[in-house]
Amino acid sequence: MSEHEHAGRCACGAVRFRLVGQPTDVIACHCQTCRRWSGYYWAATHVPRDALIIDAEAELAWWASSEFAERGFCSHCGSSLFYRRHDADRVSVAPGALDAPTHLATTAHICVAEAGDYYAIDPNTPRFPGPDTGS
């Protein structure tokens, strides 16, 4: 495995994947759907679609979470793994599924207007009320 390849898997190991190339830093999303889906808030690194190589996906299922996007999860253990918009050329990948060390950092929080009341968001990390970071 090269230096710029990350391996990842769901909690039970039925879904295994690799990221080829350098993933972006992590953005945490506090929207209600991400919170319900993950159980807390969800966060993701982003890679081009063709940089996500799924080696074992027998248990991978996709949920159409909106008209414009779907979310990938392990149908055996329930791990919330991927998010992709139909119109986007990139896919979001849960950093918690990656093998350590990831060498990634969480650099922004989005949809904080919908944040839960059971945690605090690091005040030193940029926050955005909606789904965009402005970049």
E strands within 1-110?
A: 5-9, 16-20, 26-29, 42-48, 52-56, 60-63, 69-74, 80-85, 90-93, 106-110
Task: Candidates 12-20, 45-53, 98-106, 116-124: pick the segment binding Zn ion (CB under 5 A).
Answer: 12-20
CA dihedral (34, 35, 38, 41) positive or negative: positive
Q: How far is the CB of 25 from Zn ion (least distance, A)?
A: 17
- Which parts of 17-76 interact with Zn ion (CB under 5 A)? 29, 31, 34, 74, 76
The tokens 């990221």 sit on which residue? 19
Kind of pairing, strands 26-29 and 106-110? parallel
Tell me the site size for Zn ion, rule CB under 5 A: 9
> Residue 113 interacts with Zn ion (CB under 5 A)?
no
Q: How far is the CB of 46 from Zn ion (least distance, A)?
A: 13
Nearer to Zn ion, 21 or 39 (CB): 39
3-state DSSP assignment of residue 51:
helix
Alpha-carbon distance 39 to 33, whole Å?
10
Nearer to Zn ion, 6 or 30 (CB): 30
Nearer to Zn ion, 22 or 90 (CB): 90
Binding letters toward Zn ion, positions 75-94, x by CB under 5 A: -xx-----------------
User: Which residues lie near Zn ion (CB under 5 A)?
Assistant: 10, 12, 14, 29, 31, 34, 74, 76-77
